[in-house]
Amino acid sequence: MIVELDGKKITVDRAPTVLRLMEELSINREAYLVIVNDRLVTEDHRLNKDDSVKLIKVVSGG
């Protein structure tokens, strides 16, 4: 499936849930929010192959 990570589109193996997707990408749950089909979701949210998935980084520097 295609997901958007920090604004860049990447292709990943299909993951059944948001949590599994984050684990596969080694993404810290405190550092990201996940938006599926324009809605903010929790980690247990189930993913379908046509979902539009966006991973948004929440950490800022400076």
Partner 1 sequence: MKCRVCGNDAVINLKAYNNALCARDFIAFLENRVLKTIQRYRLIDKDEKPLVAVSGGKDSLSLWYILNRLGFASDGVYIDLSIEGYSSLSLDKVKTMADRIQRRVFIFHLMETLGKGIDKLSRVIKRSTCSACGMIKRYIMNRVCMDRGYNVIITGHNLDDEASALLGNILYWKDEYLWKKGLELKESEGHLSKKVKPLFLCSEREMAAYAILNSIDYIRDECPFSIDAKSLVYKDILNRIEESSPGTKLQFIKGYLKVSRAMKTQRRKDNLDYCAVCGYPASGGICSFCRIMERFGIEGDIRFDEYKPEGLPT
CA distance 28 to 42: 14
Is residue 42 a contact point for partner 1 (CB under 8 A)?
Answer: yes
Structure letter (DSSP) for residue 5: E
Is residue 24 a contact point for partner 1 (CB under 8 A)?
Answer: no
Least distance from C-beta 45 to partner 1, angstroms?
8
Is residue 33 a contact point for partner 1 (CB under 8 A)?
Answer: yes
Helices (H) and strands (E) in the chain, counts: 1, 5
Can you give the binding site for partner 1, defined by CB under 8 A? 7, 28-33, 35, 39-45, 56, 58-62
